[in-house]
Amino acid sequence: MKHIIIGTAGHIDHGKTTLIKALTGRETDTLQEEKNRGISINLGFTYFDLPSGRRAGIIDVPGHEKFIKNMLAGISSIDVVLLVIAADEGIMPQTREHFEILKLLNIKKGIVVLTKSDLVEADWLDMIKEDIKEEFKDTFLEDAPIHAVSSKTKMGFEELIVDIDKLTAEVEAKDTEGHFRLPVDRSFSISGFGTVVTGTIISGKVSLGDTVEIYPGKVKAKVRGIRVHDVPSELGEAGQRCAINLANIKVSEVQRGNVVAKEDIMEPSLIIDCKLYHIKTAEKSIVNRQRVRLYHGTEEIICRIIPLDKEEIKPGQWAYVQLRLEKPITAQRNDRYIIRSYSPMNTIAGGIIIEPNAKKSKKVTAEYLEELKLKESGKSTNILENTVKNLSDTYPDSLAILKSLGKNMDNIEEELKALEDQGTIIRLGGQDNSIFIHKDFLKDKTKELKALIEDFHKKNPLKFGMSKEEAKNKIFTKKLKQKNYDEILNMLVEKKTLKVSEKFIALYDFNVTLNKEQERMKNFIINEYKKLKFTPPKYVDLGQGEKDRAGFKMVYELLIDKEILIKLNEDCTLLKEDYEEAKNKVRNYILENGSISAATAKEIFESNRKYTIAILEHLDSIKFTKRVENDRVIY
């Protein structure tokens, strides 16, 4: 399912919050100070049920220049912007600053909403619309709809809602397969529940019970509860606003600007390499070591700009820069950011993070810049990604990948780690013996595996599942080691795609359902084994009176698959409870006497030699006991 976030932007007192209340029926100003002053200070959150049935999250941002910091904490994660302009005032300073921020964050879709349109004459309204078209010419809002509305009378709301619905339908689905990341915009404590954080998930997904890490502090916590649009949920996905209840963490250990993410996927950094655009309307150039304010996700950090490819950066210029931070940032490649001047605070630049874990560069060399440009273009990682993709069915290690690249790549481990952090490739095995596969390869193999097991379930409705070994041989090549195969299965279990036992795999939602006759057969088989205990019946004798021999066999095999019956060899099968009793009898006797003979075991089991030997040999095979001459001891 596609998840959408709509955000407001615009000058103070142009009616953003009133518009959202009129659209949704819910108030986003929650602070008493906001209500007293009639302005938004902090971020407001709600949701909007669209005519198409989609539910969009809404972030209402403050318009006052003093609260741009709060505005930036909310606007970075939106898909569609409602740029609000009061019809009686037109375009104002904060309209322009908000719009510059939207462009720098690469927001692509938006609607211009002219509020308070009932307060002006038609001629004035037409003039304002012309001003807007001129202002936003050659930008992403050039062809955007302009809706004249009144939040008081609901004039124009019907048409506005239609266009919002239409625009949200065009938004691309987020990447739910990447690593989970949620920049925190609020943290608080609820009595009886503990620490709660809120934010918009920008990649991946999170489930109840997951262990997450709070960056940059690297504090781990457990997901105790999830709420999406104020409704309890077991899952939160990219593009959704979530409140997450965290266990094992104090509210003082997490705050706005932190990132809650999958554990062990990111490394906080004090130096980042970036591509920066200095906006045309800036009053002066950016100079070396200029102290500025960096906004990334929901965080504000003071830093210094080190231009890498020019002495100073003039308004309207792009440049490669190194940002040296006064406190750690937790970022990923291709993340967007905003720069504001230190004082007075004005938006002056923004861009893309190229290297989130850069090294301090005392002297900028041509090679350093070329490497940066290559990282920006994605060529090195793209080549590496395609190599892993092409080699995935051979399950390559880094040496095999390096050989396939046909060139020296000193930072291959770093690049592989970057692709792994992005969720593009998957590492199997430990750090010293890693192999790599592409996410698309795993996706395709998962699809094949699901189809294979689904077909097996249709043909064998009374079998718990398919043999793990058979599935491996049919879907994966022999080059995949058993331990790596088990890792893949564990991933699919975590994603609730499959369920796995010691020997079998089944679709997560599959359950064996017995009819009345099959239930009778099951009870009959269990009772026969209960009666005969350590002198169990043979299968060939068990169902002599059954008319439906094929059905009887399926029920019998189901009991073995579900380990209600334990098959020791072709001639001996025991009830699980009797098998465990036999193990305990052997263990207790050996612990008391040092060893046990077959003759003694035969007496303890009150069985014959044939079945006694079958039990003892099976205990040897699972390394519970060990044969020493004619006796058994604990392994």
Query: Confidence class of residue 28 from pLDDT cuts 50, 70 and 90?
Result: low
Residue 34 has pLDDT above 50, yes or no: no
Per-residue pLDDT tens digits for 95-130: 998 899 899 999 999 999 999 998 989 999 999 999
- Kindly report the CATH number that applies to the domain delimited by 516-634: 1.10.10.10
395: CB partners within 8 A, 6+ apart: 428, 435, 436, 437, 477, 479, 480, 481, 484
Predicted pLDDT at 41:
36
Please determine, looking at this structure, whether the domain spanning 269-375 carries the CATH number 3.40.30.10: no
Q: Identify the band that residue 549 occupies on the pLDDT scale cut at 50, 70 and 90.
A: confident
What pLDDT is recorded for position 529? 95
* Pick from 50, 103, 66, 97: nearest CA to 81: 103
pLDDT at residue 541 tops 90: no
Q: Determine the topology of domain 181-262 in CATH.
A: Elongation Factor Tu (Ef-tu); domain 3 (2.40.30)
Confidence of residue 33 (pLDDT cuts 50, 70, 90): very low
pLDDT value at 38 more than 50: no
Average pLDDT (466-479) is: 92
pLDDT on residue 36 = 40
More confidently predicted of 376 and 256: 256
pLDDT of 134 over the 90 cut: yes
Q: What is the pLDDT of residues 402-425, one digit of tens each?
A: 776 644 556 788 889 889 988 999
When pLDDT is averaged across residues 537-554 and rounded to a whole number, the result is 85
Kindly state which CATH superfamily the domain 4-169 is placed in: P-loop containing nucleotide triphosphate hydrolases (3.40.50.300)
Q: Do domains 376-439 and 516-634 have the same CATH topology?
A: yes
Mean pLDDT confidence for 345-373: 86
Q: 56-103: per-residue pLDDT in tens?
A: 888 887 644 554 667 676 677 789 999 999 999 899 988 998 899 899
**CB-based contacts of 556, cutoff 8 Å, min separation 6:** 521, 525, 539, 542, 543, 565
**CA distances for 86 relative to 14, 31, 118, 563, angstroms:** 5, 24, 11, 71
**What pLDDT does 74 receive?**
66
pLDDT, tens digit, for every residue of 571-612?
899 999 999 999 999 999 999 999 999 999 999 999 999 999
Amino acid 403 reads: K
Q: Is the pLDDT of residue 40 over 80?
A: no
pLDDT number for residue 527? 94
Range in 492-501, 539-548, 597-606 with the lowest mean pLDDT: 539-548
* Percent share of the chain, pLDDT over 70: 94
Residue 283 has pLDDT above 70, yes or no: yes
What is the rounded average pLDDT for all residues in the chain?
88
Q: Which pLDDT score, from 0 to 100, does residue 229 have?
A: 82
At residue 431, the 3 state secondary structure works out as coil
| Euclidean distance between CA atoms 331 and 323, whole angstroms | 13
Mean pLDDT of 358-386: 80
Q: Which of 72-76, 223-227, 260-264, 423-427 bottoms out in mean pLDDT, i.e. has the lowest? A: 72-76
376-439 CATH fold: Arc Repressor Mutant, subunit A (1.10.10)
Question: Between 293 and 414, where is the model more confident?
Answer: 293
DSSP H or E stretch at residue 428: strand 425-428
Please tell me which of 48-52, 177-181, 218-222, 378-382 the model is most confident about, judged by mean pLDDT.
218-222
The token duo for 461 is: 């409705």
Q: Where are the domains of the chain?
A: 4-169, 181-262, 269-375, 376-439, 516-634
Burial class, 516, CB count within 10 angstroms (exposed 0-12 / middle 13-18 / buried 19+): exposed
